[in-house]
C-alpha cells in the first residue's frame, strides 16, 4: 500500500474495493470511487504531463471538466481513447493510462528546451515562421505536430458499441448539486415528468465535498435522502455519468451517458426534447495569474477541498492559500482538519471578516491580508512562494515554504448551456463574473451557474426554479418548503486579474492564463501590441480558450487582461462564443448504431436471393443492391460481360429491372398533368401505347427519363430512373400541390409493389410462349412500344414491349411476392434457348451500343434534349416545363456541347470515362477542352471499343480526329462518330 497521501479515514471512496492500475507503465493502487486524478494524487504523482508548447512539468490543478493539465491516453490499440482528463476518468481495475506528452518521460522531457526559447515561441510564432516561405510548413509540420500534439488516435476502427435514445420530459434538470436536486424535487412534487442528469457517478455535485448542514442534518445525509426520494418517484428519471453537452433550438438538448452498467453499450446519446429546462451546472473556480503559476502543486482551492473531503487525499504537507474571496479559506479549513500544516492564507483584500475566514483563524491559520503571491518557485514542483504587498499595505516581501498552493480567484458560473441556447450573458461587477441574462428558450438558471454561491441561496433558488418550471407547464406546485442551510456571512470578492509586477527573476517568469495552450500574459500583451483588438481574433492568435478544456479555467482571466490592455471594461470586450460540445464527445457516440452495415438502409429486390445463389457481385445504385454481372467459373468482369452481351444479342438475356421507379398517375387531369411535365405529346398516346419521355427542369435541362404507358383514359404508368424515383415523385407532388392545385390527379408509388423482369434478345418471344403467355405475341398484334395485361405461368402480369438494348424485348411486371417464382420459371422456360442472366454492366454496354443515355452519367444538369439529339420527341403544339428556357439565347447558340460517339483509332483502347477531348498532340497550355467522354466500353458484339460523350458543336464534327486525355495522363486518338453504333435503323427492336 503505497498511497502515501491517502488520509486514514473519510472520503466517499470504497476502501473495501482496492483497484490496481498503471500510469506511464507504473503499477499503482487506488480505490473504487476514485478518479484517475485522485488516485494519482494519493500515490504522490505530482508531475502528470508536460505542457503543450514549452514542455513544462504540469500537475493536477482541478477536480473536474476544467482540468487543463492532466491529459491522458487511456487504453491501447483499438480501445485507446486519447485526451481524457484524469479528473473525469473513473478509476477501474486494470486501467492503463499514459501522459500524452513528455519524451523520453514526463519527469525528464528534452522538449523543455522550448521553455528557454520562450521569447521566440511567443504567440504567432508558427504563422510568422512557416507561412512566410512557401513549403517550409509542409517540411516541418510532421516534427512540430509530434512535439506539440495531444494524444494518439486509436488504431483500427472503434470496437465499442453505442446507441442513441430519444426522450421527452416536462422538466429537464441539468446538474444534481444543491440547486439541481432542489429543483428536481419541487418539480417532481408538482407532478411533472422530470429528467435529472449529472456528469458524476453519484449525485450531489458540490455537496459531495460539503461540510455544512442542510435541514439540520449533515449535507451527506440530506443528499442521501434526496437521492432516495428521487429514485422512488415513478415520473422521475435520473441519469448519472451523463453530460448535457449541447443546447439546441426549441429546447432540444444532447446528452451523452458514459460507462453504462450492462457494458454491451459503452456510451449512449440522449436526444431530449424538454418542455422546460432548469440549468444548475454550478460554477468553475478561477485561477490566479502570477509568475510560475503552473508549477505542479499549484491547485484550485475548491479542488484541494474536493480531494480531501470526497477522495480522502491530502495532496501535500504544507499549504499556502492565495485568494481574493472567502471561499478560498475552505481549503485551509479542510487541510487543517485533515492534519496538514497551513503556512499562511494570502488574501489580497485588506478587509477580511466573513464566517469562513473567522473559522480558519480560530483553527490557528495565519492570515496575511493585503498581500499577494508574487511568484512561485520550484523546478519540477512547487517548493515555495514569494509573497509581497498587494498595494501599499500587506506584509513585507518574503518567502514561504509550501508544497501546495490553493488558489481562488473567484468563480465563473457555467453559462455554457445558457449561451448555447442563444442567451446573452451579463457582467456582474459583484462578484465579478458573467451570469446568464434573460433566457431565450423555456429555461431558467439556478444556483451557482446563475451567480448565486451560498448553499442556502442555491437551495432556495433551485426549489423555486423547479416549481416555476412545473407551473409554466401547467402543474400546480405542492406546498413544500425549500430545504434550509444555515445563513453564512461572507465578505465581498476583490477582483484580481494579475499580481503587481515585481522586480527580479520572477519578472521574467511566465504567467499562465490558459495552461493547456501555454498562453501567457506576455502572449496576450504581444497580441495587443500587434494590433489585435477583438477577443475572437485574440483567441485565434494566442490560442486562448482552445483545447479540450475550452478555456473553462482561464478564459475570463484572459478577457479581463485584454480589457485592461485595451483600456476597456470587461463587458465591452465580452466573451468568445460558447459552442457545443461542453466537453469533448466521442464520434462513436454521435454516430450511435448507424455504423457498418447499419450506416445506410439497403434496398434489395425480390430477386435478390436468386442473384446471391448465382454468385452475382452487387453494385450499389441509389440504395439498391443490383446484380453487377453473373460470372461463370474463372470469369472476370470483362469476360463475363462479353459473354452476356453476345448471348443476349444472339438469343435471349434476362435482367432484373425491378429498381426502376414506377408511379401510377391517375385522375381526370392525369393527361393534362403529364403534358406539362414531359416533352412529348401525351394526348397522342392511345390506351395501351408506351412512349419514351423526358422531363426537364425549369431551366430546360434534362432531369429524368423513362418509359410511360397509358393504361386507360385517365390512368398512366410512369417509370423513372432507379436513382431518380423519389425525386420525380416529389417533383410531381410539388407542382401538383403548389402551382396546379386545380388539377385532379393522384400519384402512387408502385416501385416496390411491382417487380420487373426484362427479357431481351431475338428469342424473347419464344420464352414468353414457353411460359404459356395467353396473349397474341405476333408483331402485328403486340407491336413495339405497347403494353398488354396477360397471364404467364397462370399468374397475372403486365407485359411491356419496350427495349433498352435495341433487341426484341419485353418487360414483365409481376407482383413482387411472385417475382422470384416468375424469374425461376423464365429461367426454366428459357433453358432451351440458352437464356443468359445479365447484370447492370451488360445493360450499360447494350444501351451504349444503341446510343441511349443514362441520366446522371451522360448528363449533368447542363444538357438540353436538343443537345442529345432528341428534337423528335419535343412537342411543338403544347407548353411544358422547361420549354421556354430552351429558347433562351444560351440554349440556342451554336457550338453547344452535343451528344456524339467516339471510336478509338487503334480499335483496341477503351478510353477512360471522364477523359477530356482536345485537339492536336502538343498539349501546350492553354489547352482548350472541347468536351468529355461520359460512357466507354468494349463492345463484344461489334468487336471494338465504343465511347459516348458531349463535344462542342459535336453534330458537325463527325469524322474529325481528336485526342482523349484521361486524368492519369493516358492519351488515346479517337474519331468522332454518330452516337448509335448498333442497328442504327432500329430493325431488331421492331422484329
Sites of contact with other proteins (CB under 8 A): 248-250, 252, 271, 273, 698-699, 729-730, 733-734, 737-739, 741, 879, 883-885, 887-889
Q: CB-hemisphere CA count at 13 Å for 38? A: 31
Contact present, 255 and 269 (Cβ < 8 Å): yes
SS3 540: helix
Query: 382: how many CB neighbours lie within 10 A of its CB?
Result: 26
Residue 318 contacts residue 403 (beta carbons within 8 Å): yes
Distance CA 435, CA 428 (A): 7
Q: Which residues contact 277 (CB under 8 A, 6 or more apart)?
A: 171, 172, 173, 174, 247, 251, 253, 417, 421, 441, 442, 443, 444, 469
Question: 734 or 781, CB closer to other proteins?
Answer: 734
Shortest reach from residue 863's CB to other proteins, in Å = 16
Which is nearer to other proteins, 729 or 785 (by Cβ)?
729
Residue 736 CB, shortest distance to other proteins, in Å, is 9
Residue whose grid cell is 453487377: 628
Do residues 743 and 736 lie in contact, with contact meaning Cβ atoms separated by under 8 Å? yes
Distance CA 449, CA 562 (A): 24
* 541 vs 538: CA distance, rounded Å: 5
Phi/psi for 603 (5° steps) reads: -105, 130
Nearer to other proteins, 27 or 738 (CB): 738
* Residue 627 to residue 841: CA distance in whole angstroms: 9
Please report how close the Cβ of residue 720 comes to other proteins at its closest, in angstroms. 15
Q: Please, what's the largest Cα pairwise distance for the chain?
A: 116
- Classify residue 78 by its DSSP letter: G
CA–CA separation, 145 and 152 (whole Å): 11
Non-local CB neighbours of 410 within 8 Å, separated by 6+ positions: 285, 286, 324, 325, 431, 432, 433, 493, 495
State in angstroms the smallest separation of the CB of 186 from other proteins.
Answer: 27
Residue whose CB is less far from other proteins, 26 or 250:
250
Nine-digit cell string for 109: 522531457
Percentage helix, strand, coil for the chain under 3-state DSSP, each rounded to 5: 25, 30, 45
Nearer to other proteins, 167 or 828 (CB): 167
Give me the least distance between CB of 422 and other proteins, in Å please.
9
Identify which of residues 860 and 890 has a Cβ nearer to other proteins in the complex. Answer: 890
| Cβ-contact 180, 278 below 8 angstroms | yes
CB of 737 to other proteins, least distance (A): 4
Of 598 and 687, CB closest to other proteins: 598
Question: In this structure, how many other beta carbons lie within 10 angstroms of the beta carbon of residue 968?
Answer: 7
Q: Identify any residues that bridge with 406 across adjacent strands, giving them in sequence order.
A: 299, 321
State in angstroms the smallest separation of the CB of 739 from other proteins. 6
Gyration radius of the chain's alpha carbons: 38
- In the complex, the smallest distance separating the C-beta of residue 698 from other proteins, rounded to whole angstroms, is 5
Cα–Cα distance measured from residue 460 to residue 179, given in angstroms and rounded to the nearest whole number: 7
Using CA atoms, how far apart are residues 819 and 758, in angstroms rounded to an integer? 12
Work out how close the CB of 745 gets to other proteins at its nearest, in angstroms, rounded to a whole number.
13
Q: How far is the CB of 184 from other proteins (least distance, A)?
A: 24
Helix spans in 480-603 (H) = 521-529, 535-542, 555-566, 570-573, 587-591
Which residue, 150 or 743, has its beta carbon nearer to other proteins? Answer: 743
Q: Which is nearer to other proteins, 663 or 853 (CB)?
A: 663
Residue 689 or 878 having the CB closest to other proteins? 878
Nearer to other proteins among residue 734 and residue 831 (C-beta): 734
State the Cα–Cα distance between residues 251 and 860, nearest whole angstrom.
Answer: 41
- Nearer CB in complex with other proteins: 428/730: 730
- State how far the Cα of 405 lies from the Cα of 344, in Å rounded to an integer: 10
Given the complex with other proteins, which of 345 and 736 has the nearer CB atom? 736
CB of 253 to other proteins, least distance (A): 10
Half-sphere exposure of 413 (CA within 13 A, CB side): 29
Amino acid at each position: 500500500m503505497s498511497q502515501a497521501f491517502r488520509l486514514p479515514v473519510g472520503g466517499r471512496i470504497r476502501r473495501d474495493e482496492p483497484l490496481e492500475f498503471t500510469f506511464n507503465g507504473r503499477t499503482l493502487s487506488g480505490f473504487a470511487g476514485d478518479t484517475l486524478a485522485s488516485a494519482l494524487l494519493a500515490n504522490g504523482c505530482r508531475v502528470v504531463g508536460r505542457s503543450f508548447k514549452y514542455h513544462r512539468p504540469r500537475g493536477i490543478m482541478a477536480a473536474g471538466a476544467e482540468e487543463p493539465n492532466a491529459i491522458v491516453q487511456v487504453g491501447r490499440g483499438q480501445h485507446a481513447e486519447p485526451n481524457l482528463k484524469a479528473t473525469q476518468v473513473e478509476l477501474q481495475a486494470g486501467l492503463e493510462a499514459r501522459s500524452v506528452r513528455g519524451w523520453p518521460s514526463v519527469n525528464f522531457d528534452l522538449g523543455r528546451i522550448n521553455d528557454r526559447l520562450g521569447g521566440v515561441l511567443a504567440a504567432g510564432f508558427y504563422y510568422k515562421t512557416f507561412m512566410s516561405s512557401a513549403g517550409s510548413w509542409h517540411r516541418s509540420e510532421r516534427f512540430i505536430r509530434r512535439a506539440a500534439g495531444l494524444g494518439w488516435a486509436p488504431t483500427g476502427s472503434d470496437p465499442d458499441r453505442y446507441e442513441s435514445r430519444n426522450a421527452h420530459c416536462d422538466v429537464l434538470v441539468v446538474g444534481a448539486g444543491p440547486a439541481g436536486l432542489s429543483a428536481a424535487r419541487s418539480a417532481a412534487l408538482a407532478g411533472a415528468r422530470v429528467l435529472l442528469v449529472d456528469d458524476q457517478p453519484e449525485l450531489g455535485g458540490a455537496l459531495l465535498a460539503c461540510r455544512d448542514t442542510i435541514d439540520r442534518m449533515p449535507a451527506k445525509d440530506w443528499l442521501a435522502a434526496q437521492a432516495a426520494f428521487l429514485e422512488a418517484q415513478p415520473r422521475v428519471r435520473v441519469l448519472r455519468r451523463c453530460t448535457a453537452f449541447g443546447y439546441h433550438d426549441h429546447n432540444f438538448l444532447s446528452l451523452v451517458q458514459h460507462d453504462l452498467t450492462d457494458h454491451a453499450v459503452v456510451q449512449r446519446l440522449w436526444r431530449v426534447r424538454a418542455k422546460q429546462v432548469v440549468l444548475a451546472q454550478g460554477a468553475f473556480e478561477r485561477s490566479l495569474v502570477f509568475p510560475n503559476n503552473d508549477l505542479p502543486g499549484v491547485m484550485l482551492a475548491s479542488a484541494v477541498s474536493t480531494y480531501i473531503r470526497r477522495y480522502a487525499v491530502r495532496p501535500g504537507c504544507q499549504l499556502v492559500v492565495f485568494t481574493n474571496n472567502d471561499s478560498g479559506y475552505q481549503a485551509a479549513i479542510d487541510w487543517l482538519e485533515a492534519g496538514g500544516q497551513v503556512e499562511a492564507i494570502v488574501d489580497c483584500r485588506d478587509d477580511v471578516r466573513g464566517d469562513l475566514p473567522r473559522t480558519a483563524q480560530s483553527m490557528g491559520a495565519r492570515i496575511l491580508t493585503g498581500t499577494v503571491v508574487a511568484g512561485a518557485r520550484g523546478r519540477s514542483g512547487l517548493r515555495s512562494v514569494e509573497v509581497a504587498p498587494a498595494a501599499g499595505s500587506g506584509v513585507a516581501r518574503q518567502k514561504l515554504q509550501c508544497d501546495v498552493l490553493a488558489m481562488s480567484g473567484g468563480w465563473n458560473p457555467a453559462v455554457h448551456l445558457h449561451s448555447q441556447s442563444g442567451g446573452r450573458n451579463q457582467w456582474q461587477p459583484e462578484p465579478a463574473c458573467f451570469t446568464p441574462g434573460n433566457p431565450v428558450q423555456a429555461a431558467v438558471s439556478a444556483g451557482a451557474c446563475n451567480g448565486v454561491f451560498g448553499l442556502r441561496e442555491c437551495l432556495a433558488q433551485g426549489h423555486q426554479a423547479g416549481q416555476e418550471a412545473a407551473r409554466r407547464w401547467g402543474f400546480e406546485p405542492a406546498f413544500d418548503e425549500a430545504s434550509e442551510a444555515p445563513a453564512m456571512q461572507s465578505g465581498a470578492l476583490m477582483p484580481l486579474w494579475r499580481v503587481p509586477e515585481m522586480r527580479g527573476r520572477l519578472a521574467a517568469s511566465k504567467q499562465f492564463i490558459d495552461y493547456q495552450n501555454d498562453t501567457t500574459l506576455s502572449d496576450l500583451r504581444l497580441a495587443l501590441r500587434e494590433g489585435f483588438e477583438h477577443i475572437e481574433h485574440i483567441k485565434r492568435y494566442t490560442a486562448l480558450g482552445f483545447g479540450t478544456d475550452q478555456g473553462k479555467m482561464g478564459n475570463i482571466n484572459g478577457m479581463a487582461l485584454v480589457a485592461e490592455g485595451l483600456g476597456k471594461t470587461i463587458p465591452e470586450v465580452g466573451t468568445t462564443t460558447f459552442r457545443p460540445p461542453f466537453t469533448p464527445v466521442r464520434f462513436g457516440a454521435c454516430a450511435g448504431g448507424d455504423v457498418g452495415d447499419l450506416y445506410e438502409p439497403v434496398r434489395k429486390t425480390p430477386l435478390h436471393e436468386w442473384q446471391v445463389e448465382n454468385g452475382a457481385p452487387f453494385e450499389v445504385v441509389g440504395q439498391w443492391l443490383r446484380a453487377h454481372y453473373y460470372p461463370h467459373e474463372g470469369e472476370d468482369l470483362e469476360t463475363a460481360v462479353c459473354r452476356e452481351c453476345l448471348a443476349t444479342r444472339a438469343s435471349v438475356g434476362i435482367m432484373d429491372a425491378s429498381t426502376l421507379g414506377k408511379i401510377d398517375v391517375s385522375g381526370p387531369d392525369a393527361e393534362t398533368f403529364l403534358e406539362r411535365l414531359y416533352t412529348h405529346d401525351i394526348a397522342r398516346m392511345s390506351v395501351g401505347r408506351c412512349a419514351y419521355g423526358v422531363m426537364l427542369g425549369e431551366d430546360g435541362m434534362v432531369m429524368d427519363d423513362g418509359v410511360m404507358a397509358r393504361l386507360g383514359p385517365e390512368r398512366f404508368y410512369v417509370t423513372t430512373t432507379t436513382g431518380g424515383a423519389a425525386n420525380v415523385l416529389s417533383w410531381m407532388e410539388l407542382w401538383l400541390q403548389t402551382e396546379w392545385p386545380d388539377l385532379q390527379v393522384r400519384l402512387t408509388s408502385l416501385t416496390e409493389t411491382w417487380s420487373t423482369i426484362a427479357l431481351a434478345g431475338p428469342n424473347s418471344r419464344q420464352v414468353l410462349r414457353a411460359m404459356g403467355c395467353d396473349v397474341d405475341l405476333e408483331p402485328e398484334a403486340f407491336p413495339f412500344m405497347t403494353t398488354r395485361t396477360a397471364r404467364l405461368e397462370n399468374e397475372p402480369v403486365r407485359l411491356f414491349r419496350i427495349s433498352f438494348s435495341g433487341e426484341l424485348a419485353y418487360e414483365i411486371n409481376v407482383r413482387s411476392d411472385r417475382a422470384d417464382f416468375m424469374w425461376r420459371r423464365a429461367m426454366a422456360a428459357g433453358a432451351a434457348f440458352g437464356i443468359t442472366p445479365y447484370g447492370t454492366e451488360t445493360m450499360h454496354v447494350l444501351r451504349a451500343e444503341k446510343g441511349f443515355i443514362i441520366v446522371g452519367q451522360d448528363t449533368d444538369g447542363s444538357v438540353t434534349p436538343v443537345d442529345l439529339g432528341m428534337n423528335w420527341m419535343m412537342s411543338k403544339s403544347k407548353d411544358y416545363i422547361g420549354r421556354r428556357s430552351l429558347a433562351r439565347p444560351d440554349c440556342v447558340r451554336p457550338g453547344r456541347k452535343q451528344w456524339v460517339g467516339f471510336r478509338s483509332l487503334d480499335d483496341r483502347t477503351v478510353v477512360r470515362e471522364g477523359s477530356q477531348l482536345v485537339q492536336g498532340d502538343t498539349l501546350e497550355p492553354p489547352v482548350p477542352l472541347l468536351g468529355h467522354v461520359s460512357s466507354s466500353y468494349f463492345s463484344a458484339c461489334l468487336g471494338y471499343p465504343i465511347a459516348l460523350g458531349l463535344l462542342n458543336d459535336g453534330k458537325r464534327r463527325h469524322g474529325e480526329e481528336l485526342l482523349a486525355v484521361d486524368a492519369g495522363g493516358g492519351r488515346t486518338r479517337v474519331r468522332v462518330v454518330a452516337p448509335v453504333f448498333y442497328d442504327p435503323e432500329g430493325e431488331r427492336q421492331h422484329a
